[in-house]
Amino acid sequence: MKIFTTRQEVAQYFTYKTGKTTGFVPTMGALHNGHISLIKQAQQVCTEVVCSIFVNPTQFNDPKDLEKYPRPIAADIAMLEQAGCDILFNPTVSEIYDDDEKWHLDIGNMEHLLEGKFRPGHYQGVMQVVNKLFNIVKPDMAFFGQKDYQQVMVITKMVELLNMPVKLVMCPIQRETDGLAMSSRNVHLTAYDREHALILSKTLGWIKEHFNVDSIPELQQQAEQMLNNEPGIIPEYFEIVDGDTLKPVTAATKKVVALVAARAGKTRLIDNMLIY
């Protein structure tokens, strides 16, 4: 696996790219099998796979959250090599950002719903860095995990508005055997938190099972009750919405998704499930 740390190295490498399809998996490191599943999916349809590891400061609202974000780079490199990844782009912050950079892209209300409500400015930071990475790597396809469902929708909107020549692929959530969605933040969970965090996936599964039985307000109420009754869990939101707009479900809705965010102890977790 080739490891590049500068934009120049990446540009130089891809100068001679001919007839190759480049798949790109942008990450913030602390890799787990969820990330590796994105690499594997990219390998199935692309000639070459690039993974980036960059803990992006502009998408963190809380400086302490940024500070404690896990950065096990040696373990990450070993995982990528084992997975057969072709290229790792691992830049510094100064390689990606100038000191006084400004960025804002209007994507409407989507950035203020759900995650956006609890993490104001987060999605502007996400779009800012993904735009930069796309312009550096120039991938044909980019692979993102469904766990960050709203993020995929935000990036889709950005690609559309900026007319970027990249095809986005949303890959299924990878779960532990007990149902917990794989996340880099799971390392912060105590055994107690980990046990009670299972209520997120259990609640989503219950909603999917009962979707054709109860009304959405009834399901919503039941979900909130399940989360509130779980020891050590502080729910932030639980929403059943249109999967294309994140707005309330209507008769015209073609895809329904349920999304949840909650704190298990000190660790903030998100999860979602496609209902249909």
Q: What are the helix (H) ranges across the chain?
A: 7-14, 33-45, 63-68, 73-83, 93-96, 115-118, 122-137, 149-161, 191-197, 199-210, 216-228
- Supply the pTM of this predicted model: 0.96
Nearest CA to 263 out of 238, 240, 232 is that of 232
- Distance between CA atoms of residues 176 and 147, nearest Å: 13
Domains of the chain, earliest start first: 2-171 (3.40.50.620), 184-271 (3.30.1300.10)
pLDDT digits (tens, 9 = 90+) for 54-89: 999 999 988 988 998 999 999 999 999 999 999 999
**Residue 138, amino acid:** K
Per-residue pLDDT at 80: 98
pLDDT digits (tens, 9 = 90+) for 243-263: 999 999 999 999 999 999 999
Catalytic residue numbers? Answer: 35
Give Cβ neighbours of residue 171 (< 8 Å, ≥ 6 apart).
Answer: 37, 38, 41, 143, 144, 145, 146
- Distance between CA atoms of residues 227 and 199, nearest Å: 7
Are the beta carbons of 47 and 84 closer than 8 angstroms? no
- Distance between CA atoms of residues 182 and 254, nearest Å: 27
Average pLDDT over residues 199-209: 98
Per-residue pLDDT at 62: 87
pLDDT digits (tens, 9 = 90+) for 105-160: 999 999 999 999 999 999 999 999 999 999 999 999 999 999 999 999 999 999 99
Query: Is residue 25 scored above 90 in pLDDT?
Result: yes
Reduced to 3 states (helix: H, G, I; strand: E, B; else coil), residue 265 is coil
Are the beta carbons of 87 and 4 closer than 8 angstroms? yes
